[in-house]
Amino acid sequence: YKFPPLDLLRDYGESSANVDKDELEANKKRIVDTLANYNIAIDKIKATIGPTVTLYEIVPAAGVRISKIKGLQDDIALCLSAIGIRIIAPMPGKGTIGIEVPNEKPQVVSMHSVIASKRFQEEQKMKLPISIGRTITSEVFMFDLAKTPHLLVAGATGQGKSVAINAIITSLLYKKHPAELKFVMVDPKMV
């Protein structure tokens, strides 16, 4: 048996972050201005650029309630002219509030780049390693399917359910020998 070659997957090339400094600074200013309109003071704001979204971490001034910022999600999305933003309040393990804003020009995260990554190729501890994409810091995101025996994939149209299933199947095909793993696919709706 020969494992499938990587050239079966389309290579989009390695591209760096595609958010220019003007867009970054403009978004920072809009966030600070919008919060200032609602009398919410910010001590500092920093940005982490990811492949498809940019995470703006804000440190609110003392005495500002987190629920007040969470309630302004739609107002912040409106001022940024963004389709939708996500507020993570508070950020786990940090004393900040995160605001995820979609990039104007999202970068393609190809299955080729994820499967060819050193992390996926050298993974030995996981029984059924699944590489699903990249995190906001562009690190390969992996999990062990053996530790998640009941997996529900749900979401609205166009949110990536089929892409997630394809990533799971591709990861297993590139990592496991047929003697180690067999597929049984049941499709009652005949999709």
- Note the Cα 161 to chain centre separation in Å: 14
Query: Are 168 and 145 in contact, with CB atoms under 8 Å apart?
Result: yes
What secondary structure letter does DSSP report for 151?
Answer: -
For 128-168, the pLDDT digits (tens) are: 999 999 888 889 999 999 999 898 999 999 888 999 999 99
Q: Is 154 helix (H, G, I), strand (E, B) or coil?
A: coil
Using one digit for the tens of pLDDT, what is the confidence trace for 46-63? 988 888 888 999 988 888
For 45, 46, 81, 148, 184, the CA distances from 27, given in Å and listed in that order, are 11, 11, 10, 38, 47
| Single pTM value for the model | 0.76
Q: In the Cβ-directed half-sphere of 128, how many Cα atoms lie within 13 Å?
A: 15
Give the pLDDT confidence of 88-116 residue by residue, as tens digits: 888 888 888 899 988 888 888 899 999 99
